[in-house]
Amino acid sequence: MQNKVLFVDDDPKVLAGIRRQLRKKMPIETVDSGRAGLEAIGAEGPFSVVVTDYCMPGMNGIEFLTRVRQAAPETVRMLLTGSADLDAAIQAVNQGNIYRFLTKPCSPEQLVEALDSGIKEYRRTHRERKFNQRTRRCLNQAMEVQQNLMPRSGPGIEGIDISGRSIYCDHTGGDYYDYFETKAAEGSKLYAVVGDVSDHGLPSALLMTTARAFLREAASRSGSVSNVVSRVNRQLSRDVQATGRFMTLFLAEIDLPNRILRWIRAGHEPALVYEPGSGEFTELRGQGGLPLGVFEDAVYEEQHHELTPGQIIAIGTDGIWEACNAQGGMFGKRLLQDVVREHAERPAAEIVERVLAALQQFLFPLGLQDDATLVVVKTER
């Protein structure tokens, strides 16, 4: 990388002296006005460092450096002036975001030291920008991959309407939802899953994708829901035991022919069941087990609930009801229930969207502090 320095001064003697002092040490360009300096930046940039005089006709040094900051934000900006005006120095720092403020006369040694320091700062900023660009690109790709792992539509089982969505507070998240059908000798079953990995961000996203693979593989084999969760827990515990991470999980198995819902709560909050006939909600509690990844031999007890036509089952993560707005109020489960009840006659996908829209409206102007996920299952009448 060529580290060029641009000097701007309306005094030709000053510019000639700078060229004599520095021409053998680093690439130097000199111009006699702020306007010419901006043209040089556009035509010959980037420059690592720009040094300007303060008192110049047409455009003073502060105005010039402010324009430089807009045109080339990575370029390190310095002011070299004979003005002893402290107010001018303060204004230069505040408006031009000055790296160094140098006064005339400035010795060659002092000037070279300042330029070397400015070039190092430019290199650091340039490396940081490149790294941030690569990181953002990788995170965007990771977000795309993670989002594509989520189901885009329901499995198409007659009598069931199901939909889900996750909103992440970072590029990637630790929340997870899934729904899929399995076929076995005893008949087909629909699994609806919501999980929440501790913390959020890329490490949690990696653990989430691992858990998804484990769960789909375990559910493809015969056995009860407690067996499915136990298998996943054993595999996950071996992978995360040195990291301290864990994952809560709510797994629901919908046996439509027998009108039974079986579920496991591995450290996860209970799901909500809305009964349209009474307009009331109940919670799918039962015996909650440990989160996945905590203890390899953890035991999970299966619970069951009768399915009736028109029921709505809402499985979410605490990023919804624990979200707080600017006034310190919490969204809470009561507001979640109100939105579900108000839109109970709508399709599952629209109920999900209405809840998440209500959450974002509640938080405005703040954003999410945690990932928020909701799956809604409707048993059709």
Residues 219 and 115 in one domain: no
Residues 116 and 155 in one domain: no
Residue 140 lies in a domain: no
Mean pLDDT of the chain: 87
The 3-state secondary structure of the chain reads CCCCEEEECCCHHHHHHHHHHHCCCCCEEEECCHHHHHHHHHHHCCCCEEEECCCCCCCCHHHHHHHHHHHCCCCEEEEEECCCCHHHHHHHHHHHCCCEEEECCCCHHHHHHHHHHHHHHHHHHHHHHHHHHHHHHHHHHHHHHHHHHCCCCCCCCCCEEEEEEEECCCCCCCEEEEEEEECCCCCCEEEEEEEEECCCCHHHHHHHHHHHHHHHHHHCCCCCHHHHHHHHHHHHHHHHCCCCCCEEEEEEEEECCCCEEEEEEEECCCEEEEECCCCEEEEECCCCECCECCCCCCCCCCEEEECCCCCEEEEECHHHHCCECCCCCECHHHHHHHHHHHCCCCCHHHHHHHHHHHHHHHHCCCCCCCCEEEEEEEECC
Is residue 120 domain-shared with residue 159, that is, in the same domain? no
Same domain, 230 and 347: yes
User: Do 235 and 91 sit in the same domain of this protein?
Assistant: no
Enclosing domain of residue 254: 150-379
Residue 5 confidence (pLDDT): 94
pLDDT computed for residue 354 by the predictor? 97
In a domain, 64, yes or no: yes
pTM: 0.68
Answer yes or no: do 188 and 92 share one domain: no
Same structural domain, 164 and 263: yes
- Output the domain CATH number for residue 84: 3.40.50.2300
Domain boundary residue, one of 102, 133, 164: 133
With a cut of 70, list the residues of the chain below it in pLDDT. Answer: 1-2, 83-96, 139, 142-143, 145-146, 171-173, 184-187, 200-201
Give a yes or no: residue 285 inside a domain.
Answer: yes
Same domain, yes or no, for 170 and 308? yes
**Same domain for 187 and 320:** yes
pLDDT at 35: 93
162, part of any domain: yes
Whether residues 120 and 157 share a domain: the answer is no
pLDDT at 204 (0 to 100): 76
Same domain, 181 and 257: yes
Residues 160 and 56 reside in one and the same domain: no
- Which CATH number does the domain housing residue 263 bear? 3.60.40.10
Tally of domains in the chain? 2
